[in-house]
Amino acid sequence: MKRDLADFWNLLWEAALGLAAAFMLANAFAPPQDLPWKPLDLSRPIGAATSAQVADYEIRRMAAPEEAKAVTDACIQLLREAGVEVERAEDRDDGGFCVVRGAVRLTGGSITPLAPGGLVMQCPMAVRYVIWDRQVLQPAARESFGQSVARVDNMGTYACRRIYGQEDVNARPSEHARANALDVAGVTLQDGRRVSVLADWNGDGPAGVQGGTFLRRIREGACRVFATVLSPEYNAAHRDHLHLDGAERGLCS
C-alpha cells in the first residue's frame, strides 16, 4: 500500500515537472499571439489566443467600477500605442436596457476610416476592429484588387433596440444596444470602386467574382477576431451587411 502511494506521488511529481517544462518551452518559443497569458500586441498576426486576449479586457471590465475604469484606460492606451487616435466617449444609460460604459471613438491615426465616422463602440470592440483592419481587411484587398481599402462603409454601431429590432418586450437587447457591434455594408477602394455586401456577395455584382471572394475572405478572417460574425448566408436580415460583435457567445455564419 505504501509502495503504491509512493508511486502515485512520484507520477504526480513527474507530471507536474513535465507540465512546467512544457510551459517554459511554450513561453520561450511559441508565438506570443498563440499564448493567452501574453499581453496583446496589435502589431502581431492573428493567433490562436488573439480573441481570448481581447476578451480578457471585456471580462475584466465587468469587475468593480474602479477596476473597470483602469481596464478601459489600459485598453485606450493599447490603441494609442498602436498608432490609433482614440477618445473616450460619453457613458449612456437609459435605465438598464441600453447601457454603454467605457466606450470610445476612433478618430484617426493608423487605421482605415469608418464612413460614417464618429462611431461609439466598446473599447475591446475597437481593438477587434483594428486587428481585423490590419491583419485581414487590408491584406485581402491588396491581394484581391492590388490596392488598399480607403474606407469601410458601415451602418453604425450603437442603436438602442432589441435583437433584429423586435418589438417583443421579452426579446433580449441587441449587442448594438451596448455599442458592442459594427455592421459593415462594404468598402471603398483607393481608386473609388465600391465593394458592397448587398450587390457583390454572390460575385455577380459590379465587383465581379473578385468582389464575392474578397467579401467571403474578410468574413472568414473576422471570425478569428470577433465573437459573432453574421453574413448574408445567415439570414435575410443580413443580406446587405456583415454583423461583427464582441458578445460572449460565438457564431460564424
Res 22: pLDDT: 45
Q: Which residues of 47-77 are buried (b: 16+ CB within 10 A; e: fewer)?
A: bebbbebbbbbbebbeeeeeeeeebbeebbe
**Alpha-carbon gap, residue 126 to 169, rounded angstroms:** 29
Residue in the structure block whose three cell numbers are 489566443: 49
pLDDT at 131: 98
pTM, entire model: 0.87
At 250 the pLDDT is 79
Query: Residue 106's beta-bridge partner residues?
Result: 86
Residues 168/153, Cβ–Cβ less than 8 Å: no
Answer for the pair 119, 153: CB distance below 8 angstroms, yes or no: no
**pLDDT for the residue 222:** 97
pLDDT tens per residue across all 253 residues of the chain: 555 555 555 555 555 554 544 445 445 545 777 787 888 888 899 998 898 888 888 777 666 667 788 889 999 999 999 999 999 999 888 777 888 888 999 999 999 999 999 999 999 999 999 999 999 999 999 999 999 999 999 999 999 888 766 665 566 788 999 999 999 999 999 999 999 999 999 999 999 999 999 999 999 999 999 999 999 999 999 999 999 999 877 799 9
Bridging pattern class, strands 149-154 and 114-115: parallel
Residue type, 116: P
